[in-house]
Each structure stands twice: as C-alpha cells, then as structure tokens.
Amino acid sequence: MGSAESRPERPEVPTPAPIVEATPDRTVDPDELLRLMNNNPNVVIQYYNSNRDFIEKYIVDHFWEEDVERWLIGIRERSPAENLQVRRIDFLKEKNEVEHHTSLFENNSLILRRSATFDLEIIFGNRGFESERDDLTLNFGVGPKPSEASGTKFVCPVLNKPGDKNTWHCYMLGQNTKKLSVRINIPVNAIIAKYSVSLEVVSGTSGGRKKITHNDNSIIVMFNPFVSDDTVYMEDERQRQEYVMNDTGNIARGSYWSISLKSWDYAQFDAGVLDNVLKMIVNDSRHLAQPVKTWKKYNDPVYVSRVLSSMVNCNDDKGVLWGKWNGKYEDGKSPGYWNDSGKILKKWADENMQPVKYGQCWVFAGVLTTALRAVGIPARTISNFASAHDTNANVTVDMYYDEDTGDKLEETSDSIWNFHVWNEGFFRRPDLPEGYDGWQVVDSTPQEVSDVIDPGRNTRRELFQCGPAPVKAIKEGNILIGYDSNFIFGEVNADKVNWIVSGGKVRPGPEILRRSVGKNISTKAIGTYTMEDITDQYKYPEGSQEERIAFNRAYGRGKGDHSLRFIIKNPETLVKPKFEIKILLKEKNIFVGSKVVAQIMVKNISDSNVNAASIKISGSTKRHVGSIHALLKKLSQNVEIETGKEIIVSFEIDQADYIYNIVDNKVINIRVIATDTNDGNTKVEELDVQVVIPKCITTTAPDVFPFGVETKFDIIFENKFPITLTNGVFEVTFGGNEQNDRKFIMEQPIQPGKKYIVKDVVIKPRGNRRSINTNIDFDCTQIKDIQHNFRTTIRVL
C-alpha cells in the first residue's frame, strides 16, 4: 500500500475522487457523490470492474489505509446480506439548533453548545442494526490530525444507556427498521472548535469482523451561557438575550461632555462569521507553533478571550484589523467608515487573512464583541471617556510642558484619549482567588504589549493583547489580579501629573489632578439603544475615601517612581497654585465651519500680587488618542494680576484655520499655561472642543423593509456649512447585505444652503437578519465622515 512517508498528508475529511464525469458548468459535491455511490452499489461495482487498475492506483496514491480498506470492502466484497451499510446520518439540524439556541446561525454545519446533548438518526441501507453482530462508534475530532493521545479525538461507542455527563459519550434512544436514533453528550469542558464526525461500523460476517468508516458532516461546538455548569453561564435571561443573542448595538464615542452613538452590526449569526472567528483562533501564533499543546486550552474562556484579543489586531499575527490614527487612509477605508463586523471578517478571510485597513478602538471593539458572542461568551462593548494611556505602568499619566513655549513635550508616551473603547466578557475565574467572577475586561486595540508564556519553550514573549482582567479587581485597585489589570486601572483611575520643564530641567512640585480620567464609562443598555453609565462598576466616587484607598493600593503595587510616592500620597506638601484658569466657549455647540471663540479667564488666587504673569494660549487639532495633529494658533501675553483679581483674554480660531486639519474625532484642543515668572509657580488648563457635524443627510426610506423585495428610497443632502463642498462621494452600506452596497459620485459642487438628491437607492433584504442597519457615509475634499445611520425592521411577507 506504500510507505507512510510517501503518503500525502491526510485531509481533515477525506472524500473519494470523482469517478463520474461532471458537465463543465456543474461542480461535483463530494458529499453528494459519496451518498450517490453508497446508494447505488451495483453501479459502483460495474465501474470498478471496468477501471480496476486505474482506480486501485488512484486509491493507493491518494488515500490512507483505513479508507482504502473501507472502499475495498464496499466495492469488492460488498455483501448486502451481511455487512451493515450506512446510507446517511441525519443531524436533525433544525431540532438540535432550536434546543441549543443556535438556530439563527447561517452555517451548513450543525452548531451546538457544550454541557448539553444532541440527537442523530443513523439510516442504514440494507438492513437494520443488530446489537448481537454490529458495533457502532461515533468519533469526533478537532484539527487536521485528531488523536486520542493528544486529547483531540473523542471516541463514543454507541451504548445502551447514558454515561458520565462529564465525558463525550453516545447512547441509543430507539430503533425503527433501518433507522437508529442516538443521543450524544457534549461535556462541559469540551474544546470550542469545528469537529469532524465519522461513524465506524463493525459487522460480523462469514469472513470475520469487517469495519467500514462513514465520514460525514462537521459540527461546531461553542460555550453555553444557558447552562449553569458552564463557566460562561449567565443566569438572567434578559442579559443573555442582550449580550449573547443580540446582533446589533451602539458604540459611544466623542468626548465626555459630548457623547455620540454609532450604530454597529455585530452580525455574529451571518453566514461565514462563525467560521471566520474559528479561523482566527487556529491562526493564533501560539497555536501555529504548538497546536497539540494549545488545542486543549480552547475549552477555557479565559484563554480563548485572550487569544481573540490578540487576533483582532494584526500586530503579531495574521490578525483582522490594521490600526491607524494619523488621518491618512487613502489606501483603505477610514475607521469611521466601518459599522459591520461581518463585512470586516469577510474581507479578511476573502483576502487570505490580509489585515483590513483601517481600524481604531471602536472598530477593534466591535469585531471583538462579535467574536466573543459568536463562540458563546457573553460580551459587551465599553466606552471610557477621558481614558488614560499609562505607558510605563506607574498608575499616573505624566504630562510635561515647556515653560517658555507652552508646548507639550514628548518626555513620555503617556496620554489621555478623548475616549477609548474595549470589551467585557462574562465568565467565571477558577484560575483566580474567589470573588472575581463576572465581567472581565478584554481589549484588542494594540496599545501595549502583554506577556505570554511560549508553550513550547517555557519562555516569555510579548504580544499586543490585553485581559481578561476582572472589573471588580480594577475597582478595588488589585492590579496583580488577572491579566493587565494595572494597565486598565490606569485607564479609568490614574492621577494626572503635570510637570513643568524650564531650561531642560523638570521643576519639582508637580500639579496632581485626581479627577481627570475615567469619565462616563458607558455601554449599551439592555433592551434599548440608549447608553447605560457603569462608571460605578469600575471606580468608587471621585473624592471618596474608598477611591483613594483603591488608588493607593494600585500605586503601591505598580512601578511608580519612589521619589513621587510621598507627593502622590501627601499632596498637601505641594506648593499651592497661584492661578485659577477657566476656558469658556461663546457657543455651546460649535459646528464644523463655524468660528471657535473662547474667553480665557486667569485669576490670581494667591495672597499677593503677581507682577509678571506669563499667559500662553495655543489651539491645535487633536487625535482622539490624545496626541496633537496640527498647531493652529498661538497667543502669548505678559500681564500683572492683583490678588483676588482676574483677567480675560479672547482667543479665536477661524474655520479656515482648522477645516483642512481636523481629523477623525473632530476635536480642537485649547491649552492655557499661566506662570509667575518670578518664582515659577505654574498652572496648566486644557479644554477639548468637540466640533460637531450638523445633520445634513435625510432619506425617504420606510421604517420596514419587506424581506426579499426590492425597495427604493432617496438620499437628501443639505449643505449646512458656510463653504462649498466639492468632489463628494456617497457610500451606502447595508448590514448583512454586501451585494446591495452602493457608491454614488456627486455630479456637481454643493453651494452653502443648497440640497443634493441621490435618487432610487435600492435595497433587497436577504439572509437571517431581523433588522438592517443602513449607513450613509459622505466624504468630500473639505470634510470627511459626514454620516447618517438608521435601522429598519425586516418584515417577512
């Protein structure tokens, strides 16, 4: 039969080569062909007798011994009166998936949840099953070469009664002529993966015991939040419907005083999504290096969530998304374009796992929510406003300012993002001390690396991954509990420390701000498309004794500079500031294209006059990750301020100064630095001005789209900016309906106050969506990411 070394690698589900001619325009389905051959043995025997040498050589070259044995028995020695022949296995897909809460998945495989049972019906071709002479064994395997030794193959002889619920096993339910009903138990610790399924039939014949192997369809096993034995169990049904079964949501963005909501399609049930999530898991670098060692870890939501946090970004693996924050997206799509995880995952898979360009935090988080929900881990998307990025793990965000220029210096990479979006997964933590079950932070945005043990070499390396970290540990300042809890604690509760640099030296006595980060931490509310504030789950009230205890606990266990520790814990030792600064806007809502007008109030709150105060004001466009994109304007004044008195300075930025420099989140930063030039006492104050895009787009779309029927609507764009818009492009995307997506080129410029109408946009809903999220994105030379989003119900006629 040939040596093992010369055989090709065995495919996951071996199928015979086609032995009938196919018409050029029809692809032969191997499974269909296999069933045809099993059901028509006489045809197979006749073909074999006519092509004996060719077939035997082909089989030897392309198949493994046990498959060859099966074919030879089935063709040469087929004896319908003796061998039990399997016609097919009915996986009872509809029945099983309803019971397993997986019927919404658009997938050819049977989708199941562990810690549960499912039923199959085995249909025989020649006679009924006879327990005295026939033995049946179902085999379930993960990976290309499953084996019992590696813990990736599970052998289930068909028994007469149930076995241990903590093991894979199979038992008979009943028999009817040529049909046998069986039930399979999936244990609570089952690996989350796609399993190959085969049925071994051993029959007693006049020539001895004969074995035939019937390879059939695959099944997918996932976590089970519906059963209390599973570590991802979620007791509240309303929460399960929201955090497992809901395929749509909102993601909060903007600034803590100006929060906007972006609709997002998680699309975990869409065709191909679950397969692509499983593809992410098996392409993790740890798995590719040591598949045997890592397969068995895929039964643990802690490990699976950590792997997914790494694979959503492309920094270390063939991950899904490429992150970019500089506003230059010409060779891809801007992060603001995306609103559908399914389309991102499809693009990644279709393009041979090339990273999708481009993502930012909310895009990473949207895809990770999809991935977690797809495999059965309850998940939600979390937005943290004024989110600290503590790069050196000292639980403070250190900002350095030049006294002479007023510029922020790049002494560290610490920053405060206008907002940051991450995820929470819900599961128990048997790997941690008692009390840390429940919501766990997982973050896929590539900010900082996190250690990982190389399973093959027992060495430590670093990947861009974050979590899972218990939310409770973060609130209490227990930063050594879980993965990356210190980094996440800093995001929500770090102290901001302002340092002044003069003559190349850092001035002692920094200003410490305790309430600058971690504001309005929000997630989508259960059952509605509004936001729920969950700040109290992450931190105690600002200024409370409990909050300081948690901070001091975290700071004491962090990597903070010991010379700063006394000051952090004893802020009364700092030099008292002489100035109070307020930045007041003339208009509360500033629309893109309008002038930004601010009044700067600087007050002397000391007991003595300040004879020489230096006031430096700057305005810059700012990325949402906290860095300055472009300096727009600077103003400097030297003044005298008597004790208890204040001065007012006007500061204006014209639309022409910022319109071509504004980026993603459309924020303008105003910074004021007041210094007593005699003794160096300095105060820094900043305000991020959210410049708002007015509502320019409306549609004539109905509230309900009929399923499978073409519906037309118009897009009406009104130019509410004081400038002419040129070279405009409308992109219309429909959730779960990529074939309906459209692009429309604007045929002429739009003058201020004028309208432009796109006629007869067509949508034909299909698939398994209960609603459709439609996003209209308008880009032109002057302004990017003007969007309109609406959700419509799908009605089945």
| Residues carrying an active site annotation | 361, 420, 443
Residues ≥6 apart with Cβ < 8 Å to 170: 138, 156, 157, 158, 159, 182, 183, 184, 185
Rounded Cα distance, 339 and 731, in Å: 12
776's enclosing H/E stretch is: strand 771-779
Q: Are 151 and 293 in contact (CB under 8 A)?
A: no
Rounded Cα distance, 290 and 287, in Å: 5
Q: Are 750 and 725 in contact (CB under 8 A)?
A: yes
Residues ≥6 apart with Cβ < 8 Å to 781: 725, 726, 727
Give helix then strand counts, H and E, for the chain.
18, 42
Which residue type sits at 153?
K
Rounded Cα distance, 719 and 696, in Å: 6
Rounded Cα distance, 39 and 101, in Å: 34
Rounded Cα distance, 409 and 426, in Å: 40
**How far apart, in Å, are the Cα atoms of 257 and each of 288, 373, 539?**
45, 31, 19
List the structure tokens of 498: 């302002």
96's enclosing H/E stretch is: helix 93-99
Longest dimension (CA), the chain: 113
- Quick one: which of 306, 273, 298 has its CA closest to 425? 306
Strands (E) across 437-564 are located at 438-443, 450-454, 459-463, 466-470, 495-502, 505-506, 511-513, 519-524, 531-533
Rounded Cα distance, 79 and 85, in Å: 9
